[in-house]
Amino acid sequence: MKNSFFEFDSSVKEIWTVADLNRFIGSLLDREVSYVLVKGEISNFIIATSGHWYFTLKDSHASVKVVMFKGQTSSIGFIPKDGDKVELYAKASLYIPRGDYQLQASRMRISGVGNLHEIYLLIKKRLFEEGLFDSCRKRSVNKNPSAIGVITSLKAAALNDVISSFKRRAPYVNLIIYPSPVQGEDAPIKLIEQLNIANRRKEVDTILIVRGGGSLEDLWAFNDEYLARAIGNSKIPIISGVGHDIDFTIVDFVADLRAPTPTAAAELASNSQLDMLNILQLYCNRMHKVQMKTIQTYQQRLDKLSFRISSPLNTLYSKKDKVLYLFKLLLSFVKESQSSSLQRVNLLKKSLIYKLPNISYYDDLVRSLYSRLQRSSKLLVVSKDSYLSSLVSRLNLLNHDNILLRGYALVVDKDGKIVKSSEALTNRQELEIQFYEDKLDVLVNFKDKNTSQ
């Protein structure tokens, strides 16, 4: 039976693989479908470890998967969340390994928002709700720094304002410039890079982020959500000085201190030289007062002690009398001790003389006993030596080596047992004959059971 599939259309001559088919459809999408502007609601939003964004864009009738690569996400200025209604500038594509149709987005904005102020309010509300503006997160600023970091454009007038302010007020502070553009699409990324560099180097006490005034569009880089989060994560205190007094950016709310202008930011970052001199003078005055009070206290103590000190000559006479008294007391004690010791010596002499006869008697007795002990010991040694010699002689008589020496032989079986009679032997039994100087292995061979062996 023929396969009806091939009979259905005889014009089909090529069989495609799934991969080839997906690649073909993907190339059609790339070629035929250009970038489009599409709107919808975000759901299943995920930020991958690579930094790419993955989410679903949906409306009431359909949905489509969307990917936005890290290179594009950094220029958005905010981080979307589930439920946000957005507009995407995207291109249709096919993910060939799975055959999934998806959109590759390169731009994103809040749907229906026609001006930047609405986006500004949206970002501000989100960060406020997350607590990034809380005062408990603010770090204290060292007012006597050794080094200050300034993040701004090398061409900005704000940089000259900051440098002039420090030269005039606090020339003792070392300034380190971290150059970055402060306007345009790349400005937020560059500002974040310089902020991270300053945190890694740890060479400044405070960081100033400054630029001059401008329109909302000009200052928009300082409303970037990524930059705001980077400032919130900084280990070094940050003072913002962006625009003029009436300008407020997201950076101003996140920074540890907000200054209305770049010059004001420089003034907030350190005490002026005049302030330092005034503080030094204040400390000098306090120190002088403390020293004067200390001197007066010791003078009073010295006066009190002087009243208690008598004439040195009177003190000397008093010490001399005391020494004479102690000398007499010591002399009397020595005499009494000497007399008592003599009496004890005399008593001991009498006691020894009385006991001398007994000592002589016991000495003679000991000598006599010692002589008797020596004689008894000698007799005992001689007696035991004779007895020991007798035992040795008897043992020698029992030693089989002495018997063998006289020409006898000793017959033993393979177990080392002595053969005392031929009755205990069997034919072909192995024996050993021991002589005095050597031994001989033999084998029993009966000639006749009725004859001798």
Instruction: Using pLDDT thresholds of 50, 70 and 90, give the confidence band for residue 452.
Output: very low
Rounded alpha-carbon distances, angstroms, from residue 331 to 318, 328, 338: 21, 5, 11
Task: Please choose, from the candidates 199, 200, 181, 201, the residue with its C-alpha nearest in 3D space to the C-alpha of residue 191.
Answer: 181
Of residues 222 and 403, the one with the higher pLDDT is 222
Where do the CATH 3.40.50.2300 domains begin and end in the chain?
Answer: 137-271
Read off the pLDDT of residues 236-249 as tens digits, 9 standing for 90 and up.
Answer: 999 999 988 777 89
206 CB-near residues (< 8 Å, 6+ apart): 141, 142, 145, 148, 149, 236, 237, 238, 239, 269
pLDDT at residue number 424: 77
Give the pLDDT band (50/70/90) at residue 453.
very low
Per the CB < 8 A criterion, the answer to whether 239 and 256 are in contact is yes
Mean pLDDT over 261-272 rounds to 89
Both structure tokens of 47:
């930020």
Percentage of the chain modeled with pLDDT above 70:
87
The per-residue pLDDT for range 149-178, each reduced to its tens digit, is: 999 999 988 999 999 999 998 888 999 999
- Architecture of the 4-112 domain: Beta Barrel (2.40)
Each residue's pLDDT tens digit, 314-353 = 566 566 677 777 777 777 777 777 777 777 777 776 666 6
What is the pLDDT averaged over residues 16-27?
86
Model confidence pLDDT, tens digit, residues 364-413: 777 777 777 777 777 777 777 777 777 777 777 777 777 777 777 888 88
The pLDDT of residue 28: 84
pLDDT at 313: 54
Return d(Cα 59, Cα 102) in angstroms, integer.
15
- Please tell me the predicted confidence (pLDDT) of residue 211: 92
Burial class (CB in 10 A: 0-12, 13-18, 19+), 251: buried
Give the dihedral sign, CA 39/45/47/50: negative
Answer yes or no: is pLDDT of 227 > 90. Answer: yes
Q: Name the DSSP letter for residue 132.
A: T
Within the chain, which residue ranges are assigned CATH 2.40.50.140?
A: 4-112
Q: Is 31 exposed, middle or buried (0-12, 13-18, 19+ CB in 10 A)?
A: exposed
- SS3 percent helix, strand, coil of the chain, rounded to 5, is 50, 20, 30
Q: What is the pTM of this model?
A: 0.46
SS3 of residue 340 by DSSP = helix
Higher-confidence position of 302 and 49: 49
Report the range of poorest mean pLDDT among 92-106, 295-309, 409-423. 295-309
Can you give the pLDDT at residue 447?
76
- Residue labelled with tokens 């020494």: 323
Cα 27 from Cα 372, distance rounded (Å): 135
Instruction: Tell me which fold the domain 137-271 belongs to.
Output: Rossmann fold (3.40.50)
Least confident of 82-96, 343-357, 410-424: 343-357
The answer on pLDDT for 93 being more than 90 is: no
Residues in contact with 150: Cβ distance below 8 Å, sequence separation at least 6, in sequence order: 159, 162, 175, 176, 177, 178, 207, 208, 210
Predicted pLDDT of residue 416? 79
Is a pLDDT exceeding 70 seen at residue 308?
no
pLDDT, the chain, mean: 82
Please give the pLDDT value at position 57: 95
Instruction: Give me the pLDDT at residue 259, please.
Output: 92
Report, as an integer, the average pLDDT of 115-140. Answer: 87
Cβ-based neighbours of 76, under 8 Å, separated by 6 or more: 107, 108
